[in-house]
Structure 1
Amino acid sequence: MPVPPPPPAAGPSTTPARTVSWERARARAHGAARPPAGRSVPLREAAGRTLAEDLRARHPLPAFDTAAMDGFAVAGGPGPWTVRGAVRVGAPWPGRLGPGDCVEISTGACVPPGAHAVLPLEGASVSGHRVAGDVQLPGRHVRKAGEDAGAGECLAPAGTLVGPALTGLAAACGHDALTVRPRPRVAVLVTGDELHHAGVPAAGRVRDALGPLLPGLIDLLGGENVALRHIPDRPAGRLAEELDRLGGAEVVVVTGSTSVGVTDRLRRALADRGARLVVDTVACRPGHPMLLAELPTTRWLVGLPGNPYAALVAARTLLGPLLAGLSGQALGPLPRMPVRGRVRAAPGLTRVVPVSWAGGDVRIVEGHRAAFLRGAAVGDALAAIGPEWAEGDLAPLLLP
């Protein structure tokens, strides 16, 4: 009598996961994050980080009454005025103008006390030390002290992403440093025995696209890529070993291994480590087997599918909002545009497709199967197409 084969080894549950909508997945990823305390950095190091405190003006802007034109700062009456001197940028005039007086003045220079307006150079008639011209209304061509911002006024709230304009604004109002959140550190584990890492792959293998793709994407999303390692599927314990070995990163990204196939071991590794699943599959195509988990070590793990475009969609869905939350940024509403083109309906699912600008609309770009990046590579944004979408309807956009 034949001996029956032994029962299969216990593995991760294959019961349907608690799938959440695409919109809910983004909100969960953002809401789960807890931003660290801010730290002060010099202005030259602040770009790309997020304000941890409101940016406030340390003095009025402008700090003094400023000439908005080259010409003559005039005091009282219809003129003509007598020239008492000249005022250049960075060198305030020491006196006070009386009625009938004026000084030659450069754009950006401090308007002397007593002056009521600036007569532009092209409107002035000069004869020796006498100047005539049209009567200037009080305040004409003068930027008054504090008219842009008062001392102590909030110029940018905490949570604002620091860019070149904000660093310039901070300098203009007297700051040498900003208190910002550190960029979240992200380590990447790219899994798969089939991956080839240089040149044209051999038969049965595919070129790794995610190793080159993810560092730049992490930087674009506000993180700092601190490690990238390639992990084979065999032997079975390699992925778990790498998870235990990694240090120095708040977020770990694992590509592949997110489904329930024979070589997909991420869920087992998470269960063995007591991880808390925040998102476990998302109702979207491509990328639905994505996941987000919190490890007991207070690290976050984002699981991405192995197919390149599916992984890109998953990263924009979970990793982007998570990094925004860790940086203290708000998850604001996405811009919406009319979308035109062809895409197959997916009942109950959000389809995330590449789009390009087309006047006042956006148009779906071909080449967006789960493994193919051409559409995303040449498109301008990703559009989230809901299950009830019809051509020309509004859809939210994920901008670069």
Structure 2
Amino acid sequence: MISVAEHRRRILETVRRLAPQQVPVTQAQGCVLAKDVEALVPLPGFDNSAMDGYIVGAADVAGLPAPDSADSAEASDAPEGAGQPVRLPVDGDIPAGDTRQLRLEPGHAYRIMTGAPIPAGGDVVIPVELTDGGTEYVTLHAADAPGRHIRRAGEDVHAGDIVLRAGTVLGARQLAIAAAVGAGELSVYPRPRVVCLSTGDELLPPGSVPGFGQVVDSNGLMLAAALREAGFDARAGGVVLDTEEAVTAALDAALADADAIVTTGGVSMGAYDAVKAALSSLGTVAFDKVAMQPGKPQGFGTLGEREVPVFTLPGNPVSALVSTEVFVLPALRTMAGLPVEPAPPPRARVLDGWPSPPGRAQFVRVIVEEAQAEPWMGAASGTAGPPGPSLRSAGGQGSHVLQALADADALAYVPADVTRVEPGDLLGYRRLGQQGWAAE
């Protein structure tokens, strides 16, 4: 047998990052930037109001008090008339989206809305709360210093600035600034397209009622969903009969548009292992026994002119999902331009114990018991944090046990040299769907 690390290393040394593509900014979520994004326009693109209120000239409100002192009676040494309300005629409204290039005359005001452009000659926005709200004439009771409540053109981003660097993962915030600075398309490493094939004469499509000796295919549905949860484009390719001809035809069809292929079943030592039979004469796929539980029978290689990676996984559902978490997802992250490890795995104390097979790394379905924490908005600064999470087994650990898999929310990693896990032991774990394993 080979170790988990050895099989994983062979996979990661084989897969290659996909070639960059130009995609619309609306379709780039989750992708990794292949090229810096340069601002085509400044942000903001023009001087605009940060408040609903009135735009006036600074000279017209020079005698008004600041808002925090508008109600103060102290100012005995102020000039006569200082601090008295100012009444100005209102020349109209400037709503957001107004494209007129207006000019404010001295001694006049415009009513202005948040985001609306500042007219030439306007120096100060007076929030509506500091006025009587008039539409023909407005009475102003207080005023801030010139420039207050005005967002200046380019104060956030200048035209020509690099707003996003190559290698950035494009989430909601990154897509927002890319669109705002004028990027219609982005150069990205695309998300790999994956086809998941389930092999076995006993399999029926989801929605079927199985008879004696028959099983509903849960692998294709499960693995495609797990890969989509991790941010990749995946689909179930359907059930493939246990014949070399059927497997070969299914692989040929998948190669038409897939960047990676995942098969389940047909890779053990039985007489009907059609996947192994079909792939033994195709591409570079090699089959190994990996020192892990579950998931010992594994295969990996490439097919076709594009050297499409093919992962052949065991047919038992738990083995298939564990193999996907440990081997497939790190490879897809590499192909997508992402780091193999999204983050260092956390560690937690075990609440119960269980045996572990000697000489084999064990991936145990566990439930993470979170400590009760204060809501983040109400947490007091400087207070001690809550105790860390704990792990407990989700139940039966057989490779066919779907209930424990459904109940689990993480996999705990037990090294190959450990034969028993005791309560209180510290184990690394990964939330299911948060791929990447640093196996020894």
Instruction: Classify the TM-score, shorter chain.
Output: 0.7 to 0.9
Aligned partner (choices 307, 331, 354) of residue 344 of structure 1: 354
- Aligned pairs (5 A) from 1:245-260: 246-248=254-256, 249-260=258-269
Partner of residue 64, structure 1: 46
The structural deviation recorded for 1:263 is: 3.6
Is 79-88 or 67-76 further displaced after alignment?
A: 79-88
The structural deviation recorded for 1:103 is: 2.8
CA separation of 1:83/1:177 partners in 2, compared to 1, >3 Å: closer, same or farther?
farther
Tell me, yes or no, if the aligned pair for 1:19 and 1:280 is still in contact at 8 Å: no
CA separation of 1:133/1:177 partners in 2, compared to 1, >3 Å: closer, same or farther?
same
CA separation of 1:206/1:129 partners in 2, compared to 1, >3 Å: closer, same or farther?
closer
Instruction: Quote the Cα distance in structure 2 between the aligned partners of 1:70 and 1:342.
Output: 60
Task: State the AA in 1 paired with 2:128.
Answer: L
1:87 aligns with 2:94: yes
Tell me, yes or no, if the aligned pair for 1:81 and 1:101 is still in contact at 8 Å: no
Instruction: Quote the Cα distance in structure 2 between the aligned partners of 1:301 and 1:30.
Output: 13
Partner of residue 367, structure 2: 355
The structural deviation recorded for 1:356 is: 4.4
Partner of residue 213, structure 1: 222
- Aligned pairs (5 A) from 1:42-61: 42-47=24-29, 49-61=31-43
Aligned partner (choices 12, 20, 23) of residue 41 of structure 1: 23
CA separation of 1:227/1:92 partners in 2, compared to 1, >3 Å: closer, same or farther?
closer
Instruction: Quote the Cα distance in structure 2 between the aligned partners of 1:65 and 1:31.
Output: 53
Task: State the AA in 2 paired with 1:19.
Answer: S
1:19 aligns with 2:3: yes
CA separation of 1:237/1:78 partners in 2, compared to 1, >3 Å: closer, same or farther?
same
Instruction: Quote the Cα distance in structure 1 between the aligned partners of 2:345 and 2:126.
Output: 46
Partner of residue 152, structure 2: 144
RMSD (Å) for aligned C-alpha atoms: 3.6
Instruction: Quote the Cα distance in structure 2 between the aligned partners of 1:165 and 1:213.
Output: 30
Is 102-111 or 368-377 further displaced after alignment?
A: 368-377
1:123 aligns with 2:104: no
Partner of residue 7, structure 1: none
The structural deviation recorded for 1:308 is: 0.4
Tell me, yes or no, if the aligned pair for 1:37 and 1:52 is still in contact at 8 Å: no
Q: Unpaired runs of 5+ in structure 1?
A: 1-15
Partner of residue 184, structure 1: 192
Partner of residue 110, structure 2: 103
Instruction: Quote the Cα distance in structure 2 between the aligned partners of 1:29 and 1:72.
Output: 64
Tell me, yes or no, if the aligned pair for 1:74 and 1:81 is still in contact at 8 Å: no
Partner of residue 383, structure 1: 411
Q: Deviations over 1:318-357 (max 9, x none)?
A: 2222222222233332452635443525356242424346
Instruction: Quote the Cα distance in structure 2 between the aligned partners of 1:296 and 1:33.
Output: 14
Query: What's the TM-score, normalizing by structure 1?
Result: 0.78
Partner of residue 288, structure 1: 296
Task: State the AA in 2 paired with 1:67.
Answer: S
The structural deviation recorded for 1:97 is: 4.7
Query: What's the TM-score, normalizing by structure 2?
Result: 0.72
The structural deviation recorded for 1:163 is: 4.8
Bigger Rg, structure 1 or 2: 2
Is 363-372 or 96-105 further displaced after alignment?
A: 96-105
Q: Deviations over 1:299-319 (max 9, x none)?
A: 111111111011011112222
Partner of residue 231, structure 1: 240
CA separation of 1:154/1:352 partners in 2, compared to 1, >3 Å: closer, same or farther?
farther
Identity of aligned residues (%): 32
Instruction: Quote the Cα distance in structure 2 between the aligned partners of 1:382 and 1:37.
Output: 33
Q: Deviations over 1:355-386 (max 9, x none)?
A: 3462452644335531123233344x423324
CA separation of 1:334/1:241 partners in 2, compared to 1, >3 Å: closer, same or farther?
same
CA separation of 1:257/1:341 partners in 2, compared to 1, >3 Å: closer, same or farther?
farther
- Three-state SS of the structure 2 residue aligned to 1:323 is helix
Q: Unpaired runs of 5+ in structure 2?
A: 65-85, 372-387, 434-440
- Three-state SS of the structure 2 residue aligned to 1:230 is strand
Is 261-270 or 323-332 further displaced after alignment?
A: 261-270
Is 57-66 or 217-226 further displaced after alignment?
A: 217-226
- Three-state SS of the structure 2 residue aligned to 1:290 is strand
CA separation of 1:102/1:290 partners in 2, compared to 1, >3 Å: closer, same or farther?
farther
Task: State the AA in 1 paired with 2:229.
Answer: L
Task: State the AA in 2 paired with 1:321.
Answer: P
Aligned partner (choices 131, 134, 142) of residue 142 of structure 2: 134
Q: Deviations over 1:267-296 (max 9, x none)?
A: 56544335165x955544322333332236
Tell me, yes or no, if the aligned pair for 2:44 and 2:156 is still in contact at 8 Å: yes
Instruction: Quote the Cα distance in structure 2 between the aligned partners of 1:26 and 1:54.
Output: 31
CA separation of 1:362/1:374 partners in 2, compared to 1, >3 Å: closer, same or farther?
farther
Instruction: Quote the Cα distance in structure 2 between the aligned partners of 1:91 and 1:236.
Output: 68
CA separation of 1:282/1:61 partners in 2, compared to 1, >3 Å: closer, same or farther?
farther
CA separation of 1:350/1:227 partners in 2, compared to 1, >3 Å: closer, same or farther?
closer
Tell me, yes or no, if the aligned pair for 1:81 and 1:100 is still in contact at 8 Å: no
- Three-state SS of the structure 2 residue aligned to 1:107 is coil
The structural deviation recorded for 1:142 is: 2.8
Q: Deviations over 1:218-237 (max 9, x none)?
A: 3334444466243333x566
Tell me, yes or no, if the aligned pair for 1:92 and 1:112 is still in contact at 8 Å: no
Q: Deviations over 1:98-154 (max 9, x none)?
A: 776543210111223444442211122467635323331344333333333333334
CA separation of 1:78/1:64 partners in 2, compared to 1, >3 Å: closer, same or farther?
farther
Matched residue count: 379
CA separation of 1:241/1:41 partners in 2, compared to 1, >3 Å: closer, same or farther?
closer
Aligned partner (choices 366, 371, 377) of residue 400 of structure 2: 371
1:397 aligns with 2:438: no
